[in-house]
Chains A and B, each alone.
Chain A
Amino acid sequence: MNAKNIQFLRMTHLRGPNIWTYRPVMEALIDIGALEDFPSNTLPGFNQRLTAWLPGLIEHRCSVGERGGFLQRLEEGTWAGHVLEHVALELQTQAGMQTGFGKAREAGPRGIYKVVIRTRHEAVSRSALETARDLILAAIEDRPFDVKAEINRLKQMVDSLCIGPSTASIVDAASERSIPAIRLNDGNLVQLGHGAQQRRIWTAETDRTSAIAEGISKDKDLTKQLLSMCGVPVPQGQIVDSPAAAWEAAQDIGLPVCVKPTDGNHARGVSLELSKQEDIEAAYDIALAEGSEVIVESFILGEEHRLLVVGDHVAAANKGETASVVGDGVHTVSELIELQINSDPRRGEEEDFPLDTIRLDEHTTSVLELKRQGLTAESVPEAGRSVLIMRTGNMALDVTDEVHPDVAAQAVLAARVVGLDIAGVDLVAQDISQPLAAQGGAIVEVNAGPGLLMHLKPAVGQPRPVGQAIANHLFKPADTGRIPVVGLIGDGDTTRPATLVSWLLHLKGLYTGLACADGLFMNQRRLQSHGGMDWENAQRLLINRSVQAAVFESDARHLLAEGLPYDRCQVGVVTRMPKAQGLDDLYAGSDEKMPGYVRTQIDVILSHGTAVLNAADDQVADLARHCDGSVIFYADDEKNPRLVAHLAEGGRVAFWRDGQLVLSEGSRESLVLSNKRPAVSRLLQDGRLGTDDMLIAACVAWALDISTDLIRAGVKSFGQHTSH
C-alpha cells in the first residue's frame, strides 16, 4: 500500500473497564500504510487546514500537558494514528458528547496502530472515527470538507442515541458518588446501582414513582380536589361541556378566569385572565382541542412558578418569563416581537436554546392575549406602550433561593398528597418569597416526570444540581448501590475458585450470580453452559434485581476484546499471569505486555476493597502497587519472602502449613481447614478442587467477612448442591 490512506482493520467497543481506562472506549485497529513515512509536519498545508476546520483542537493538552499541546505536537510532527485520535475526540466534543480520554499506540507491525477514544455511545464513536479519517484525508489531499454538516450529523446522532440531558444529570451525579449506572434500553431507562441494590430511573421518574399517583396528577380536577381537602390552596374551578357553560361557570367563580384542558400537557390550550364572554367562549374551543375536557378556573393573580419537589424538599424553583414588547408607533406587534424578543441570542428553535422564539401563528394564546389588550398582530402600538405577548412561556428564571419556607412546605405537601416522590409543582403567586395564603397564591398543577432542563440550564440565574438531588433521594449518603462483586483472572485456573467463592456466598445466604467458563449461574442454577465470560451474558448478573453478590471469572482474551463486565469490584483476584500466546489477533504483543493489561483487574478494586494476589508469581505480586484497597497475598509456602514481608507490615496472608490452611494477620492466625479431613482430602484426590483453589477462595471469603467456620463448612460441602 503506497497511497496516503488510513484503513480501519477492526473497531472494537470495549464496554467495561479495559486495558486503557476504567470507562468504555472505542478501540480502532488501523493501518496508516504509506502515511507512516509522512508525519504531520511533512504534509504541506495539512496542519493549517486541520486547525482551521477544528479550531477547538487548541484546547487539547495532549502529552505536553498544556493548552495548545496537541498543536505543538502537530508542528513537531506526529503520525496519522495520533491525529485520528484527537480529531475524533474533537468531533465528539463538538457534537455534544463530552469525552476526554484518548490514546494512540503502535500495535506492533509497521503502520498498524491502536487508536482508542472514550465513548458514551458505540455508534456515535464509530461514526466519529470514520468522519475523522475522512476529514484527515481531505486535509492531506487539500479537498473541501463540510465540517459543519458532519458535526451536525453527529450532533443529531448524539441527540437521538445518547441518554437525554435530564437523565444524564442524574447519572453523572450518581457517578460522582461512585454509584454505577447501566442503561437498560435505547431510551432513558437507566439502572443505578447493581443487582438487588439497584434503583431505576426513567428521565425524572424513579422506580418509586407510583403509577396511581401519576394517573392522579394527570387528572387536574381530582388533583385539585385532593389538594383542597388537605388545605393546600388551589384555584376554584368547574368542568364545563360547552362555551356557554364556560361563561356561566366563569360568572359563578368570579372573573377573571382561566380556561384550560383537564388532561392537557404543558401550557397547551391554556388561556389566562379572561373576563369577556367572547374570550371565554373562544378559549373553550382552544382548550378542547388539547384535551378531552375543559375546566374553567378562577384566575390567580401573579406569575407562574415551577417548583421541583424531590422527596421531602424543593430542589429548585423557576419563575415563568413574561415576554412583552414596547411600542414605537412605527412597527406592528409582529415586527416588534422579531425586533425586541426573537433577536435575543438566547432564543432559538432548537432544544438547546434556553428560550423559545415566539411566533404568533404557533401561540394561539398569545393572539388571545393581544386581543384582550385590544390589539392584533398587525396593530401598531403607540410609542412607549407596553404590550404583553405571552406569559405561559418558559419557566426560565431561577428563583430557588427566594422561595419562602411556607411555600416550599405547601409544594412538598402537594406532591405527597398526590403521592409523587418527584414532582413539578406549578404555582401562581405574586411574590414567591411570601406565604401563599396572604397573597391569594395557589398551586395550579402537580406534574409527574417533570423536566429538569429548566433547572439545569435556566436562562437567567444559577443552575441547580437537581441531578444530585435525585441521586441523593434514591441513595442514602453512604449507599453506593453496590453489591459485593468478585472478579478473578488468571491463566485458565480460575473457574474452580470462582465456583467455590460463589458457593460460599450462597451459603452465607446471598442470592449469588456466577459468570465463568462453565457458564452462567444464578443462585446455583445453571442458566447456560456457554459464553459465561462474554460481556453481555456476564452483565446479566448485575441487571438481575435478585442478585445480592456476583462472581466473575475473566481471562486475557475477554479482557482485551471486551473489557470487564463491571465497573469496580470489591475483591479482585489474580492467580497467574496469562501468556500472550494465542492472542495475536488482538495484537497483544509479547508476554512482557501482559501485566500492563492484567493490572486492570486490580485497578478496578474499590478503595475499601481487597486484592487477592498470588505471592509466588512475581508479575502477579507486583500488581499490588496498583491496588486502591488492601492486599491479601497467598502462597503454598509460608516462607515465601513476599508473604513474610507483607505479614510483617501488618498485611493479611494465607498459606498451607502442615496440611492446614492458615489465614494470618499480625500475630493472629486462623486454621481454616485440614487436608486430612476426609471431606477435604476426597475433594483433593478427586481433583475437584486443588490446594490453590481452596487458598484463593478462603482469601476472597476472608476479604468478604465470611467466617472461617462457614469457609470450612463450605469447602467440605462443595459440589453438594442441596438447596436452591
Chain B
Amino acid sequence: MEVSRIRALRGPNLWSRHTAIEAIVTCPEAERSLSANHPIEQRLRRIFPEVGPIEGSRSGQAPSMAHALEKVTLALQAQAGCPVTFSRTTATEEAGVYQVVVQYSEEAVGRLALELAEKLCQAAMKGHGFDLESALAQLHELDEDVRLGPSTGSIVDAAVARGVPFRRLTDGSLAQFGWGSQQRRIQAAEIDSTSAIAESIAQDKDLTKQLLHAAGVPVPLGRPAQTPDEAWAIALEVGLPVVVKPQDGNQGKGVTVNITERTAFDNAYATAVRYGTVMVEKFLPGHDYRLLVVGNKLIAAARREPPLVVGDGKHTVRQLVDLVNADPRRGTGHSTSLTKIRFDDIAIGRLHAQDLEPESVPEKGRRVILRNNANLSTGGSATDVTDDVHPEVAARVIEAAQMVGLDICGVDVVCESVLRPLEEQNGGIVEVNAAPGLRMHISPSYGKGRDVGNAVIDQMFPNGATGRIPVIAVTGTNGKTTTVRLTAHLLKAKGLRVGMTNTDGVYVNGRQTDSGDCSGPRSARNVLMHPDVDAAVFETARGGLLREGLAFDRCNVAIVTNMGGGDHLGLNYITTLEDLSVLKRVIVLNVEQSGMAVLNAADPAVASMAPHCPGDVTFFALDANQPVLATHRAQGKRVVFTEDGHIVAQKGKQVLRIPLAQVPLTRQGQIGFQTENVMAAIGAAWAVGVPWDAIAQGVATFISDIQGVPGRFNVFDYRGATLIADYGHNPDAIQALVQAVDNMPAKKRMVVISGAGDRRDQDIRDQTKILGQAFDEVLLYQDACQRGREDGEVIALLREGLQGAARTTYVQDIQGEFNAIDTALSRLSAGDLCLILIDQVEEALAYITEKVKASGV
C-alpha cells in the first residue's frame, strides 16, 4: 500500500460538506480484497479492536487496504475525542488506485491520524506491533493543543449553531465571524469592540475603583502604598480587616485577604510587592462571586470557592487532598469543570497560615483552605448562582462594566449573598476583568451551565444577524468570466460594494487587488476577509474545488452556465462528463435553503442538477419552449428566456422584460452565448433582490470591451474589417463563437487558432472540425507554451480536424502568436471578418489594440 498526494479539503467538496483529508492510495493486487477472516484484517483488529467493520465501497464488494486505512484514520480520530463521522473510499479507473477521504475537525489532527493509520496498517500487514495507546495520546494531545480553548470554543459553537460563518485567523484564539463588511473578530472572551482603553482601565485597579466610585457602585476603599508603613496607615484608615495585593496583578498572584494584625500584614506586603506596587483595601466579608456582563445584560453568576478539604478526624491533609483529587470529574487541563488541587509550596504555605502541616489530621468538619484564590485552574470550584442575583446587584454590576467601558466583563463581587442588594450587606465590587474566563459559567462545578457563547454572539450580531453577505458562485464550462463580471456589475447597480474573483484577478469595489488566475478558494477567502465587501461573486473553477473544496460553507446563488461536452476531461480522475457534473454541482449542493440555483435549462447536464439544490431554482434558456424551462414556467417558478427580441424574466404572473436591443453585450441578441450569460446574471441579480430598474440599467451599461471583459468577444474595427478576439479554447466555446459570428455579415471569413496542449487529442481536432465548416481561411499557430506536447504535435492535430472541411480553402501554419496576428491583419480587406482565438490574453490584446490604433492614424 502506498499513500500519495495528500490534500486537506477545507470547505464543502466533491465528497461531502465536511472538512476532510483526501489521499490517493495505491494497493497491489494482494491488498485489494480483505475478507473478514483475512490474516491482515484479524491482526488489524487485534491492534485496534475499536476500528469497527471494514467494508467495501459497495455491498458485497471486498474491502481493500485503502478501505482499512480509511476506517482506521476515522476511528483513531474518534477515539482521540474528535467529533468526526464521515469517511469514504472510491476506486478510480486505474486498478488498485483509490481515493480515500476522511473527515477531520482539526486539519493537523486529521493529517497525523492518516499518518498513524498508515503505520498501523503497515504493522498489521507485516505482523509487527503498534503502540495504539501512545498514538491515541499523541492525537489527543495535538487536538487539545490546536483546537480552540473552551471560552473561544463556546462562542464559536454558538456562532456555528446560528449559521454565522467562522474562520480562524491564527493558530491561537483569534477568529473571524461573518464575511466582508459584516465581519467581526473575537479573541478568547474579547470581541473587536472591546476597547483597549477600557482594558487598560480594568488593569489599573485603583483607577477602576475611582471610576466605579464615581458611578455610585460600592467598592472597598483603599489605595496604593509605597512603603509598608504607609500601607499599614492606610489599613488603619480604611479599617481592619484588610486585603493586600499587587496593584496590577492577575490570577490572584500575591494576594492576601482578611488581615487583622501587623505581622500578617507585613508578610502579605512582602508577598505582594514582588509583583509591583502594593494596594491596601478594606476587606469585604463574604463569598467571592464572579458575575459576567455581556453588553448591558447580566448573563451568568457563579460563587467561587478556593480549593479546600474538610477534615474527618482520620486522614491527613495530604490524604484528604488525594481523596478529593480522586474524583473523576477533576481533570488536569482547562477542559473539565473541576481541576485537581495542587499540593505545592503555595498550598503548604497556606496550611502553615492555618497552623497545619501536610501530615496534620484536621478535626472533623474543619475547612482547610489550600489556596487563597478561587480560580478553577488551581483546584477551586464554581457554583452557578445566576438565578439568585438580586436586580439591584445586577444593576450595580452592569453599571460597573459600563463605567469601565467593557462590553464583555467579569465583575468580581464580594458579599454574603447575591440575593440581597450589596449596600445592605457591606458588599462591594472588588475587581473588573477584561477577557474573563467563561469556563466557570459554561460548565460550572455545581449547578446549571449558562449559554454564554450565545450571549456573546447576540452582542456581536444583534437581532439574529448572521454576518453573511450575498455570495454568488459561478461555474460551468464556458461563459463563467463574463457572467461573473456582469453579475458583479448588476450588484453594483444596487449600491453594493462588490468583491469578485475570476480567471483575471480579484477585484474589490472596482479596484484590482490581485492578478492572475484567481478562480480558486484562496482568492475567494481573501474577498470574504476584505472589510469593504458587501457582496461577492466568485468564479469557481474545478481546480480549486478539487484541491481544497469551496471557500465558503454556503452560497446564496449558484450559477451553472453550461456543461456542454466538458473541458479538461481526463485530469485528476475526472474522466467523464458525469464526473465533471458531479464536481461542478458542488456549488448547487451548497446553496442556502433560502438561496437559488440559476441553471441552464437547455444543457441537460446542468438541468439535471436542479433536484440537488436545497433552495429554489431559476432556469434560463434562449428558447421559451425548451421543455425543462417551459415546465418550470408553467409551475409558476422563476425562469428567464428570450421572446420577440426581449429577455423575459417570469415568475407566475410577474413578467419583466428587457429589449435585447438595450443589452449591448448580446449585439441585438445576435450573439447567443452572450445572451445566455446575460440571462444567467439576471437570474442571479433577481435572486438577491436587485431591483428590476437597476438590473435593466446594469445590462444596458455593461460593455464587453477589453476593459470590461478582456478576451471575451472583444470586437475591433481594423481598416473596415471586423476583428473579434476571444479566449475560446474548447469545442463548445468555438461552436458558440461560430454561431455568433455567423450572424454577422462578412465578405471573407478568417480564423486564427492555436490549440492548448493540455486537452485531449479529440478535443483539439474537434475545434478545427467546427471551424472548417464556417471559415474561408484558417491560420494555425503554435507558441512557446505547448503544455507538455511535442513541437508541431498540436498543429498536426488541428490540421487533422480540417481534413475534408466544407468551407475552408486556405490553411497556413505560423510560429508565434504575434506573427499569426500580423499575418491575419495583412490578409484582411474591408468588409472581411476575422476571429482571433488568442492564447496569451493580456499580451495578445495589447498587441491587437496597438495594431488597431496604428491603423486608425
Contact = CB atoms under 8 A, between A and B. Distances in A.
Nearest to A232: B513
Nearest to B392: A724
A543 interface: yes
A208 B213 CA distance: 23
A678 B525 CA distance: 72
A724 B531 CA distance: 42
B22 interface: no
Contacts of B190: 211-212
A231 B508 contact: yes
B708 to A, nearest CB: 20
A638 interface: no
A207 B194 contact: no
Contacts of A313: none
Nearest to B191: A212
B30 interface: no
Interface in A192-234: 200-202, 205-216, 222, 226, 229-231
A515 B848 CA distance: 81
A202 B203 CA distance: 14
A189 interface: yes
Contacts of A539: 214
Q: Name the residue in B193, B197, B402, B530 with the highest tally of chain A Cβ atoms < 10 Å from its Cβ.
A: B197
A185 interface: yes
A448 to B, nearest CB: 7
A202 B197 contact: yes
B194 A210 contact: yes
Given A207-B197, A416-B531, A546 B399 contact: yes
A413 interface: yes
B192 A213 contact: yes
Contacts of B201: 189
A212 B405 contact: no
Contacts of A157: none
Interface in A376-419: 413, 416-417, 419
Given A212-B190, A213-B192, A543-B211, A207 B174 contact: no
Contacts of A527: 216
Contacts of A210: 192-196
A57 interface: no
Interface string A539-558: 11001111000000000000
A185 B204 CA distance: 10
A539 B531 CA distance: 41
Interface centre among A207, A211, A213, A419 (most CB of B within 10 A): A211
Given A230-B531, A525-B216, A212 B514 contact: no
Interface string A554-572: 0000000000000000000
Given A230-B529, A231-B506, A522-B216, A544 B403 contact: yes
B200 interface: yes
A522 B395 CA distance: 12
Contact of A544 (B185, B200, B216, B434): B216
Interface residues of B, number: 45
A520 interface: yes
Interface in A504-530: 520, 522, 525, 527
A546 B215 contact: yes
Given A230-B526, A724-B395, A222 B170 contact: yes
A201 B405 CA distance: 12
DSSP majority for the B interface?
Answer: mixed
B144 interface: no
A413 B185 contact: no
A207 B532 contact: no
Contacts of B196: 205, 209-211, 213-214, 448-449
B634 interface: no
B186 interface: yes
A189 B506 CA distance: 43
A189 B207 contact: yes
A530 to B, nearest CB: 15
B834 to A, nearest CB: 34
A213 B169 CA distance: 13
A543 B191 contact: no
Interface string B392-406: 100100010011010
A184 interface: yes
B458 interface: no
B211 A212 contact: no
B216 A417 contact: no
A210 B193 CA distance: 5
A540 B531 contact: no
A213 to B, nearest CB: 7
> How big is the A interface, by class?
35 or more
Contact of B197 (A189, A229, A525): A189
A200 B405 contact: yes
Contacts of A184: 207, 210-211
B735 interface: no
Nearest to A522: B216
A247 B187 CA distance: 34
B199 interface: yes
Nearest to B505: A231
B216 A540 contact: yes
Nearest to B396: A525
Contacts of B588: none
Q: Which of B191, B216, B392 has the most CB of A within 10 A?
A: B216
B198 interface: yes
Given A209-B197, A210-B196, A229-B529, A419 B402 contact: no
A545 B192 contact: no
B191 A540 contact: no
A229 B403 contact: no
Contacts of B194: 210-212
Interface in B203-234: 204, 207, 210-211, 213-216
Interface in A160-215: 184-185, 189, 200-202, 205-215
A184 B404 CA distance: 12
Given A185-B207, A207-B198, A226-B169, A231 B192 contact: no
Contacts of B210: 184
Contacts of A416: 531-532
B402 A546 contact: yes
B506 to A, nearest CB: 7
Contact of B174 (A206, A216, A417, A545): A216
Contacts of B405: 200, 207, 545
Contacts of A222: 169-170, 174
B398 to A, nearest CB: 9
A489 B198 CA distance: 36
A212 B192 contact: yes
Given A206-B197, A212-B187, A544-B403, A230 B216 contact: no
Nearest to A527: B216
A231 B214 contact: no
Nearest to B513: A231
A19 to B, nearest CB: 26
Given A229-B530, A416-B531, A205 B187 contact: no
Given A207-B197, A208-B195, A231-B514, A226 B215 contact: no
Contact of B531 (A216, A417, A449, A522): A417
B214 A543 contact: yes
Given A205-B196, A212-B194, A544 B214 contact: yes
B197 A545 contact: no
Given A214-B196, A546-B402, 7 more contacts: A184-B210, A209-B195, A210-B196, A212-B186, A231-B512, A544-B215, A545-B403
30 contacts: A184-B207, A202-B197, A202-B200, A207-B195, A207-B405, A209-B195, A211-B194, A211-B196, A211-B434, A212-B186, A212-B190, A212-B191, A212-B194, A215-B174, A222-B169, A226-B169, A229-B525, A229-B530, A230-B508, A230-B529, A230-B531, A231-B511, A231-B512, A231-B513, A520-B216, A522-B216, A527-B216, A544-B216, A546-B399, A546-B403
Top 10 nearest A-B pairs (CB, nearest first) are A231-B513, A540-B214, A543-B214, A229-B526, A527-B216, A211-B196, A522-B216, A544-B215, A207-B195, A211-B199
